[in-house]
Structure 1
Amino acid sequence: MMSKIASIEKITEEKVSQQVFPYTKPTDYYKDMIGEVSPAEAAMITNIVFVKMRTENGTESIISVTEPVWNYLDGIRKYVKLFDVSEISKAWDFLYRITLPNGRSGLALHAISAINLLMYDAYAKEIGVPVYNLIGGSTRHEIRAYASHLHPDKEENLEAEARGYLEEGYTDMKMRFIASPSDPYAVEKNLQLVKVIRDVVGYSVNLAGDFWMSLNYNFAYKMIRALEKYELAWIEEPLLPDDFEGYARLTRKVEIPISAGEHHYHVFDFKRLLDAGVTILQPDATWVGGITPMKKIAGLAESYGAQVIPHAGNIYNLHFIASEPEAITPMAEYLTRYRDWMEQHIVNVPKPVNARFTLGKDAGFGIRYDL
């Protein structure tokens, strides 16, 4: 018999420090105010909090969240004592419903994600199986990784970085762009970056590009049409997350597949993205609500003939990817030059070898902290 959840507590808190890399951001219109900031700063991630769940059987699970997420989680954690650690779907639905007046997305779903992932980890540990076995079983021995960085820099640095990925066995890569609509020379600057990389890797490599919510429809249409000659695998998050109509117009008029979902929530946003013609969904289990909605999103994607390629190759997304057919979840992102802030203090972070991730057979998510 499974045990009740006994507590969720804050263990410690630390500052996040991350190198500054140039790339397009929705705040580019205000660079004169804030300058160039790191990915962590751009996402308003300054402090992280390590959180521990304990069950009545003594099983423990740890996760890290941002300070604002902890502040929200702190207000709802009293409810988790109502649930057996195995009642994951029931707890998710209750928490989603009770936070509706001030939730539905953002911090509320990030907090629910943390609880959901802690419950999956603790439950899997209590029955002695990896989480991927709990949610469907592994569909493959290895998960293909794509190299994700190629931030705009000196051309010789981009060339060297792309060449290095080829030598490491990567056949899939993702770059960032340097210029958005606030720059009158943006199209030419971005095209030059893609040319530099394509001249190194050729056209047998799948090369994607990320605009990180920084464009408007008119610029996005002009930019993506100009990029079509470079045969990109996808263009990621060209528009603001709530601009579903813009996505619908854009997908009808450009040749390159459009991806989105890193900043979308639960199944409803993803249904809207699919209806808008987005064919690559990119939820993150740490933000979208946890593993519970990730599995539902995979079913939605399959019904539309779309794919799910999650944001970031964290351990939670890897277990989800492994549990779905490769046709639906073909690969995982690997952030090569800056690691996910959620991996601080994890002593056995999975890293790809020859551009392939492998997962062990340890119970739960299989990660250990040095806290």
Structure 2
Amino acid sequence: MKIVRVQAFPIQAEPTDTRPYWGSRAWGTERAAGQAELSTEYPVPLRRRFLYSRTIDTVVVRIETDTGHIGWGEAKAPVAPQATATIIDLLLTQILIGADPREVTVLWERMYAGMRVRGHRAGFYLEAIAGVDIALWDLAGQAANAPICSLLGGRMRESVRVYASGIPSLPLEAPDAAIAELVTEAKSLEAAGYTGVKVAIGRGVRGDLRVVRALRDAMGDGFAIYVDAAGVYSRADALRLGQALEELDIGFFEMPIPPEDVEGYAELAQKLAIPIALDSIMSRHETVELIRNRAIDVVQPDVCRAGGITECRRIAELADCFGLAYQPHVSIGSAIHVAASAHLAVAMPNALVCEYWIGSNPIGNAVIEQPIELHDGHLSAPDNPGLGISILPDRLLAHVSRMRPE
């Protein structure tokens, strides 16, 4: 079994939601300009704006073998998917052609080593590796006639609980009617079977607390609430907010401060009872630094950007050695993203919950033959070989971007 063709398709799908992606509304250009309520100006506002695309952007990887098998993967590229696709075309394909796709770890190490000496240990390069790696696991599962979770050692659980992602917070001056709308949305999610929700905070300590308190009062103690600050707070504000969130029984506090501040994460993790989580983990090397500094409680690598299934498995197992929880980060992406995350979530012993994007998704179930469905707020890994999903190429590749950088 040898690889004969590698293709990377930059996807930019037109959104079908009536509202922009919740992350963009919370932290991107959709965020309201006035943020004077923040008690400190560190990080400065310039550092609290993130790029989001108007379209749903990702990169789909297709690998073909001489036996006729097709493996699909996804490289998470929330902006500029052409960059990630070009990395696959120009750097990774030459490593893969002629190789046995079942030698997943060997190929991962060869790809990672290719640009290691030049410092490419995260970002677009790791995202590109992630997309290829998922496709290799898909092929390995097909060759073994087994789902990926079986190749990972088997199902530790039949399904994993998911939380709805997500609801954006509001600034302090937001009207009561806007708060009521968020509560109504949370109740509709509960009625749909979700047992928890993640709130995109970072609108100011008092504004965030107003929203979270309203949700807790309305939803009661049995409904899980998680928060994600996207690293917008200073240590002092994150500590003040975290102490208040503890009283509201929040499940975890995700990226409270900039991810580069490992010492700050250590301070928060050791002063707060609320679990500290981080999704901007790209490798086990970053994970071990956080663990050594006692700076994290929940690891949240995203399978489509943190080196794929191979590296996410390593991160989860490393965390487990130190009694830390693992939780797949799943943002806006395709059905491939969801399936790969589900296999990891059911197989890893220390899996906590799994993120699940609630938006209308034109590259989700719409591009596969058999929908991936939730049952009572739980997600199961597909039973068929490999990823276990049957891609409808015409539907998926209809969203390939025709744009090229000038």
Q: Give TM-score scaled by structure 1 length.
A: 0.87
Gapped runs of 5+ residues in structure 1? 180-185
Q: Deviations over 1:77-124 (max 9, x none)?
A: 111014211110000011111111141111111011111111110121
Is contact 2:25–2:31 with CA below 8 Å preserved after alignment? no
Q: Report what 2:103 is aligned to.
A: 87
Partner of 1:316 in structure 2? Answer: 340
Q: Is the 8 A contact 1:27 1:214 kept in 2?
A: no
Alpha carbons of 1:344 and 1:272: their partners in 2 closer, same or farther (altered >3 Å)? farther
What is the aligned counterpart of 2:27 among 13, 25, 28?
25
1:25 is displaced (CA, Å) by: 2.7
Q: 2:61 aligns with which of 39, 48, 51?
A: 51
Q: Which residue of the partner structure matches residue 70 of structure 2? A: 60
Q: Does 1:355 align with 2:377?
A: yes
Residue pairs, 1:161-176, within 5 angstroms: 161-176=185-200
Does the C-alpha gap of structure 1 residues 248 and 11 become closer, same or farther in structure 2, counting only changes over 3 Å? closer
**In the aligned structure 1, how far is the partner of 2:340 from the partner of 2:82?**
20
**How much does 1:41 deviate?**
5.0
1:307 Cα offset (Å):
0.4
Choose 187-196 or 338-347, whichever is displaced more: 338-347
Q: Say if 2:148 is the partner of 1:131.
A: yes
What does residue range 1-371 of structure 1 map to in structure 2 within 5 Å? 3-10=1-8, 13-17=11-15, 19-20=19-20, 21=22, 23-25=25-27, 31=33, 41-42=51-52, 47-65=57-75, 66-76=81-91, 77-100=93-116, 101-152=118-169, 154-177=178-201, 179=203, 186-260=204-278, 262-275=279-292, 276-312=294-330, 314-325=338-349, 328-337=350-359, 339=361, 345-371=367-393
Residues of 2 paired with 1:258 and 1:166: CA distance?
25
CA distance in 2, matches of 1:349, 1:110: 25
Assess if the C-alpha contact under 8 Å between 1:16 and 1:47 holds in 2.
no
For residues 308 and 108 of structure 2, the distance between their equivalents in structure 1, rounded to whole angstroms, comes to 9
The separation in 2 between residues aligned to 1:224 and 1:55, in whole angstroms, is: 51
The alpha-carbon deviation at position 259 of structure 1 amounts to: 0.4
* CA distance, structure 2, for counterparts of residue 63 and residue 342 of structure 1: 14
For 1:315, the aligned partner's letter is A
- Aligned partners of 1:245, 1:44: CA distance in 2, in Å? 35
Q: Evaluate the alpha carbon distance shift between residue 93 and residue 342 of structure 1 in structure 2; reply closer, same or farther with a 3 A threshold.
A: farther
Q: Which runs of 5+ in 2 are unaligned?
A: 35-44, 76-80, 171-177, 331-336, 394-406
CA RMSD of aligned residues (A): 2.8
* Aligned position for 2:37: none
Task: Name which of structure 1's ranges 333-342 and 201-210 shifts more when overlaid on structure 2.
Answer: 333-342
Deviation digits for residues 113-150 of structure 1 (CA, Å, limit 9, x no counterpart): 11111111012112211111111111222221222212
- The answer (yes or no) to whether the contact 2:11–2:56 under 8 Å persists in 1 is no
Which segment drifts farther, 116-125 or 311-320?
Answer: 311-320
Letter in 1 for 2:248: Y
Measure, in 1, the Cα distance between the counterparts of 2:240 and 2:30.
18
Task: Tell me the distance in 2 between the aligned counterparts of 1:337 and 1:209.
Answer: 18
What SS is found at the alignment partner of 1:141? coil
Distance 2:113 2:365 in 1: 30
- Output the TM-score relative to the length of structure 2: 0.80
What's the secondary structure of 1:314's corresponding residue?
helix
Q: 1:86 to 1:208 in 2, by over 3 A?
A: same
TM-superposed deviation, 1:229: 1.9
Give a deviation string over 1:203-227, Cα, whole Å, max 9, x none.
Answer: 2222111111222212212222232
Cα deviation 1:249-303 (Å, max 9, x = unaligned): 111222211100x222110111122233311110011111011111211221111
The alpha-carbon deviation at position 200 of structure 1 amounts to 1.2
Sort the Cα spacing of 1:51 and 1:221 in 2 relative to 1 into closer, same or farther, 3 A: same
User: C-alpha distance in 2, partners of 1:48/1:291?
Assistant: 17
Would the aligned equivalents of 1:64 and 1:342 in 2 still touch at CA under 8 Å? Answer: no
